[in-house]
A and B are shown apart, each in its own frame.
Chain A
Amino acid sequence: MPRTVRDVVFVDGVRTPFGKAGPKGIYHETRADDLVVKAIRELLRRNPGLDPKKIDEVAIAATTQIGDQGLTIGRTAGILAGLPTSVPGYSIDRMCAGALTAVTTTAGSIAFGAYDAVIAGGVEHMGRHPMGEGVDPNPRFVSEKLVDESALFMGMTAENLHDRYPHITKQRADEYAVRSQEKAAKAYANGKIQQDLVPISVRRTNPEAGETGWGLVTADEPMRPGTTLENLANLKTPFRVHGRVTAGNAAGLNDGATASIIASEDFARENGLPVKMRLVSYAFAGVEPEVMGYGPIPATEKALAKAGLSISDIGLFEINEAFAVQVLALLDHYGIADDDERVNQYGGAIAFGHPLASSGVRLMTQLARQFEEQPQVRYGLTTMCVGFGMGATVIWENPHFEGDK
């Protein structure tokens, strides 16, 4: 049977505001599954052209797949969101690149012809499920020196990356972080972010965390607008004495969820759905786990090669800011300035937060908005580093591209 590979498009994406993990965080008394369910419902409300019966898959990523993130959350979230029981679902895990992998995996299936339209997203409630909850690493990792002991601690891997690139100083990382906060604050002021946020009702019973009762969350909790270099200079370096990685130049521990609609371009057009981005290529790559922040470099190389593009073709970058050093490593690799205006125009995870498995779709949602605004740009990419030594990159084409003028 002859097959035709089909074009895959990003139709729309939304997310919950991100919260700070922990007892005083906005989502401390909110379930993880409820977060992703509300994101899915908002997505469906925004896209009435998508008949829920026609959704072929619900792929939801979570790093810690137990409790309210367990029970095959893609399936349970679909039912809880009110999708017909005929719509299947499954769970995905590639740590930080969970939602990104949910998109690429289902996109592959769409290109192959197995699906027409899917929901892909992710959730991580790091307050309810701290990193490393329930893990049981094989002792051979250490006894056979398969990985360095620091590989399991992301902050330590970031320090290792500073070691590898001595020219990426703490000063540069802090300066990058300050810009991320500034850009995020500006994007908020211009209403760029809020348009893709799902308001979430949150209950609080602990008076130490603030006013009790039901509240409504409409903005990201981790943001620190007005952050200065001075503020960051004296922060502790919790991963190494006299180290470089601080809470200020890294994403925090966060709670949040994202969801997107991915479809074949034909399906989207036939059903009157928006086409916000067209998938060009994607790639994953592995690196030494103890310098996992290096991962985006080989992944991007691979994705560019598959697309037949060079880095100069990329007009917009959405790079997940797990750590400033990891962004700077990628920029240095390609000779891109730290403050290049093509990079993370709305700011990044240092400001918004990084609820592990959910972040990939946040990058895409923001890139999609930038494509709309900048029809002169043809290609953009979303990339992120992944725990245990991986990188993930997706290259997108701007459907609003108006040609070289």
Chain B
Amino acid sequence: MSTTAELLKGAAELFPGEVVTQAHVRHFDLPLNAGRFALVTLDNGLDHTKPTTFGPQSLANLNAAIDQVEKEAADGDIVGVGITGKPFIFAVGADLKGVELLKRHEDALAIGKGGHEVFKRLSKLAVPTFAYYNGAAMGGGVEVGLHCTYRTVSASLPAFSLPEVFLGLVPGWGGCTLLPNLIGADKAVSVIIENSLNQNKQLKGKQVYELGIADALFEGADFLEQSLIWTASVLKGDIVVERPVIDRGEAWDQAVAKGRFIADGKVHGAAPAAYRALDIIAAAKNGDLQQGYDAEDQALADLIMGGELRAGIYAFNLVQKRGKRPAGAPDKNLARPVTKVGVVGAGLMASQLALLFLRRLEVPVVLTDIDQERIDKGVGYVHAEIDKLLAKGRVNQDKANRLKALVSGVLDKAEGFADADFVIEAVFEEMSVKQKVFAEVEAVAPAHAILATNTSSLSVTEMASKLKHPERVVGFHFFNPVAVLPLLEIVRGETTDDASLATAFAVAKKLKKTAVLVKDAPAFVVNRILTRFMGEIQNVIDEGTPVEVAEKAVEPLGLPMSPLVLLELVGPAIGLHVSETLNRAFPERFTVSPNLKAVVEAGKRGFYVYDSGKPELDPEVAALLKQGDTVLTEEQVRARVLDAVAQEIGLMLEEGVVAEAQDIDLCLITGAGWPFHLGGITPYLDREGVSERVTGKRFLEPGVASVPA
């Protein structure tokens, strides 16, 4: 038994639940009398919904396959070796479930080494090796191909990426080292850093070819046949693959610098993965592959044992799994069909909602408002947005015609809502107004119709309280911009029944939103935490800490934007309104900042001016600020803010606002864009000891979003 086999055997014992990938070896004669060929097929025996991954046993299987073809190559029995995947899937990389189980640095190191030891054998066979990227290829899947002599890619390939940095790892089975040496540092940085940090952007087959990762591109219909004919031509010398010479001069350093700039812009130094990857790419300039592989092993092991990766995997699983099967949602069979939607209000929010329902449900959507002019404006907005989709090619003319015909506006609610199954209101945030609207809708809508409110902070129970059928009222809280942020907080009022709630979840699924069940509590989840967070920042500013110190204090978290820039995006007036609501509910914790009030009253839309290209405190705002004389350091501000957030989350979980801390994190990731490396926020609060300091205990058990005990 070789050392590699022993290494993998040890690793396999730590991961008994691995879905094992087989490496089938099949022999045949190539076309054009090019000789006998061995093709390795990676296949986990499941259909395309369960993509092929590499755990330790899977790597051992590939290793054994390579043992076989290595001997055949040395004996002159074959002229080449290929590797491809099952239908629609090449391979999607390391099995993350196995990574989660690792507890010791040396075990993590073994995973990296194991992959390297197996994959690099593909570059050392006595015959050329060929990877045929037939379908989805990610991470280790991409890397196994990079070790081959040649690559072809299918034009139908839907997703190709090195997503490690997105999750909190580095492409550590050769990716960081081989890719820049194949296509140059600049393109490699785009794939490894930029795409990963750009919401894990995927490449299509054509781009893989254009980037120079693959040497040939073939259409999907007969991809493998054409790849093998091409292989035969290459082996016979009829086709000579030429690759551009890599610029190993200043361009390489500039590419790495560009990567650092991109990473800073996204994670602000708060997550180590991108920087570790860039260090390896920078070192790969000298072309010393083994040195690069060693650095990859170290980086992988360090990151696997670090909190950011564990939080990243936790966050990824929340979005991929919990986000698709919401905790606490009633039996989906209780849901009623929604064949027509009413929208009360024709303002910007209402119009955005109308557009979303229209596109996803493709049922009639009727807008109402208090006068025809507003209605016309609302319908006009939807039509204009459909035209934009048409211009971009996102919908064709027929679909545009269909969607436009489905949206209408009427003054008379009785006419518009008489056969609506789902009516959502997006009128002014004032309890009496909303109660009046619902009473009017109830008078004309069918008895089964769901009445949904897009309120961001008002009580759903109270809103329903004056209706004959309060059981059909649900909160349906979207996040702005509606088309971008996936989160939908579905609020169950005290009287809401299961059928209405099930219908709300069914609609959310069709809207392709990440639905989280939330109790009817002030400001629900995201706004409550963000308001507490912002409130604490405003408090320290009001008390005397300079604005820039307060802003910089939370930079190490790597949030998508600074607190005051976020406030600008939300709108200071709305921020003020929510803080007032929460102040009424919890005056001991939520304050209303007099300075914010002054800014709002002065009609300012934000704190900053951008004349210099960078945000600078608006002198007019500076003049309005009245600050005390308590000046805190960044560390002090950060501690105070995080303590406040931890306290609020602890209280929310006690109140039962959501089922578990996982739901809080899911909300913050999908509704506020809080980063994966924080795992939302509770893994970070646990990691930094904030949870225990404030609430006396962790939010999550060790191992859930951290290295297991």
| A interface, CB within 8 angstroms of B | 37-38, 41-42, 80-82, 198-201, 203-205, 211-219
Contact B222 A214 (CB under 8 A): no
Question: Contacts A41-B222, A216-B228, A218-B31 given; 10 further ones with Cβ under 8 A?
Answer: A198-B225, A201-B222, A205-B43, A211-B26, A213-B24, A215-B39, A216-B29, A216-B39, A218-B28, A219-B29
Q: Is there contact, CB below 8 Å, between B29 and A82?
A: no
A217 to B39, CA, bound (A): 13
Q: Which of B71-105 contact A (CB under 8 A)?
A: 84, 86-87
Q: Are A80 and B221 in contact (CB under 8 A)?
A: yes
B465 to chain A, nearest CB (A): 57
Tell me, in angstroms, the Cα distance from A200 to B221 when the chains sit together: 11
* Centre residue among B37, B45, B222, B229 by max chain A CB count within 10 A: B222
> B225, A200: Cβ atoms under 8 Å?
yes
Cα separation A211 to B219 with both chains bound (whole Å): 26
Using Cβ atoms and an 8 Å threshold, which residues of chain B touch A203?
Answer: 41, 86-87
Q: In the bound complex, do residue B221 and residue A216 qualify as a contact, i.e. CB atoms below 8 Å apart? A: no
Size range of the chain B interface in the assembly? 20 to 34
Most buried by B among A200, A211, A217: A211
User: Does A37 lie within 8 Å of B31, measured CB to CB?
Assistant: no
A37 touches B221 (CB 8 A): yes
Q: Which residues of B contact A205 (CB under 8 A)?
A: 43, 45
Residues in chain A near residue B27, CB distance under 8 A: 211, 215
Q: Is B274 an interface residue (CB 8 A)?
A: no
Q: A203 to B85, alpha carbons, bound, how many Å? A: 11
Docked-complex contact B41 and A213, CB < 8 angstroms = yes
Name the contact of B84 in the complex, choosing from A80, A199, A211, A214 (C-beta under 8 A): A214
B649 sits at the interface (CB 8 A): no
Shortest 4 CB-CB contacts between residues of A and residues of B: A213-B24, A213-B41, A201-B224, A211-B26
For A82, the chain B residues whose CB sits under 8 A away are 219, 221
Interface pair B225/A213, CB less than 8 Å apart: no
Q: Could you list 27 A-B pairs, sorted by A, with CB under 8 Å? A: A37-B221, A41-B222, A82-B219, A82-B221, A200-B225, A201-B228, A203-B41, A203-B86, A203-B87, A205-B45, A211-B24, A211-B27, A212-B26, A213-B24, A213-B26, A213-B41, A213-B43, A214-B24, A214-B39, A215-B27, A215-B28, A216-B28, A216-B31, A216-B228, A217-B28, A218-B31, A219-B29
Tell whether, in the assembled complex, residue A199 and residue B87 are in contact, meaning their CB atoms are under 8 Å apart: no
Q: How far is the CA of A198 from the CA of B226 in the complex (A)?
A: 10
- The answer to whether A213 touches B28, judged by C-beta atoms less than 8 angstroms apart, is no
Residues in B neighbouring A81, C-beta threshold 8 A: 221
Determine how close the nearest CB of chain B comes to the CB of A214; give it in whole angstroms.
5
CB distance from A41 to the nearest CB of B (A): 6
Residue of A81, A198, A214, A218 with most chain B CB atoms under a 10 A cut-off: A214
Residue of A nearest to B43 (CB): A213
Query: A215 CA to B24 CA in the complex, in Å?
Result: 10
| B30 CB-CB contact with A under 8 Å | yes
B25 within 8 A of A: yes
Contact at A199–B221, with CB atoms within 8 Å? no
Is B40 in contact with chain A by the CB < 8 A criterion?
Answer: yes
- Collect the chain A residues with CB atoms within 8 Å of residue B39's CB: 213-216
Task: For the complex, give the distance between the alpha carbons of A201 and B229 in Å.
Answer: 11
A80, B24: Cα distance in complex, Å = 28
Main secondary structure of the interface of A (DSSP, over half): mixed
Closest A residue, CB atoms, query B24: A213
**B222–A216 contact, CB under 8 A?**
no
Complex interface: chain A residues within 8 A of B31 (CB) = 199, 216, 218
Given contacts A212-B24, A218-B28, A218-B31, contact A201 B225 (CB under 8 A): yes
Bound complex: CA A203 to CA B45 (Å):
12
In the complex the two chains form, what is the Cα distance from A201 to B221 in whole Å?
Answer: 11
The distance in angstroms between the C-alpha atoms of A152 and B31, with both chains bound, is 40
Contacts of B87 in A (CB 8 A): 203
Q: Contacts of B24 on A, CB cut-off 8 Å?
A: 211-214
Name the distance in Å between B614's Cβ and chain A's nearest Cβ: 51
Q: How many A-B residue pairs have CB under 8 A?
A: 68
Rounded to whole Å, the gap between the CB of B235 and the closest CB of chain A is 14
> Among A37, A38, A201, A216, which residue has the most Cβ atoms of chain B within 10 A?
A216
A199-B26 in contact given A214-B39, A214-B41 (Cβ < 8 Å): no
Which residues 219-277 in B have Cβ within 8 Å of A in the complex? Answer: 219, 221-222, 224-225, 228-229
Q: Which residues of A contact B45 (CB under 8 A)?
A: 205
Given A214-B84, A218-B31, is A204 in contact with B26 using a C-beta cutoff of 8 Å?
A: yes
Q: Which residue of B lies closest to A201 (CB)?
A: B224
The chain B residue with its CB closest to the CB of A198 is B225
Instruction: Give chain B residues whose Cβ lies under 8 Å from the Cβ of A199.
Output: 31, 225, 228-229
Separation of A42 and B229 alpha carbons in the complex (Å): 12
- Cβ A215 vs Cβ B26 within 8 A: yes
Closest to A191 in B: B33
Q: Is the CB of B221 within 8 A of A214?
A: no
Please, which residues of chain B bring their CB within 8 A of the CB of A42?
222
Nearest-CB distance from B644 to chain A (Å)?
57
Contacts of B22 in A (CB 8 A): 212
For B225, give its contact among A38, A80, A204 (CB under 8 Å).
A38
Q: How far is the CA of A215 from the CA of B28 in the complex (A)?
A: 7
Compute how far the CA of A323 lies from the CA of B43 in the bound complex, rounded to whole angstroms.
42
For residue B432, give the distance in angstroms from its CB to the closest CB of chain A.
57
Q: Is the CB of A216 within 8 A of B30?
A: yes
**Chain B residues with CB under 8 A of A204:** 26
Min CB–CB distance B229 → chain A (angstroms): 7
Taking CB atoms, residues of chain B closer than 8 Å to A41 are 221-222
A42 to B221, CA, bound (A): 11
The reply to whether A211 and B25 form a contact with Cβ atoms under 8 Å apart is yes
B residues within 8 A CB of A211? 24-27
Nearest Cβ on chain B to A384's Cβ, whole angstroms: 29
Instruction: Determine the residue in chain B with the shortest Cβ distance to A194.
Output: B31
Residue of B nearest to A210 (CB): B26
Distance between Cα atoms of A38 and B26 in the complex (Å): 22
A207 and chain B: residue at smallest CB distance = B24
How far is A77 from B41 in the complex, measured between Cα atoms in Å?
A: 27
**B224 near A38 (CB under 8 angstroms)?**
no
Q: How distant is B398 from chain A, measured CB to nearest CB, in Å? A: 14
In the complex, are the beta carbons of B224 and A216 less than 8 A apart?
yes
Q: How far is the CB of A28 from chain B (nearest CB, A)?
A: 14
Whether A216 touches B40, Cβ cut-off 8 Å, given contacts A211-B24, A211-B27, is no
Of A38, A217, A218, which one neighbours B221 at CB under 8 angstroms? A38
Q: For the complex, what is the distance from the CA of A40 to the CA of B87, rounded to whole Å?
A: 21
Alpha-carbon separation in the docked complex, A41 to B29 (Å): 22
Least Cβ distance of B211 to chain A in Å?
24
Q: What's the Cα separation between A205 and B24 when bound, in Å?
A: 9
Q: Give bound CA distance, A217 to B24, whole Å.
A: 17
Cα(A219)–Cα(B30), bound, Å? 11
CA distance A37 to B29 in the complex (A): 23
Residues of B with C-beta under 8 A to A201: 222, 224-225, 228
Instruction: Tell me, rounded to whole Å, the shortest Cβ–Cβ distance linking A351 to chain B.
Output: 19
Known A82-B219, A199-B229; judge A213-B25 contact (CB<8 A): yes
Q: Please give the distance in Å from A113's CB to the nearest CB on chain B.
A: 32
Q: Are B222 and A38 in contact (CB under 8 A)?
A: yes
> Would you list which residues of chain B between 361 and 403 have a CB under 8 Å from chain A?
none
CA of A119 to CA of B225, assembled, Å: 21
Decide: B41 and A212 in contact? CB cutoff 8 A. Answer: yes
Of chain A, the residue at the smallest CB distance from B222 is A38
Within 8 Å CB of B219, what residues of A?
Answer: 82
In whole Å, how far is B34's beta carbon from the nearest beta carbon of chain A? Answer: 11
Question: What is the CA–CA distance of A81 and B26 in the complex, to the nearest angstrom?
Answer: 27
Closest Cβ of chain A to B18, distance in Å, is: 20
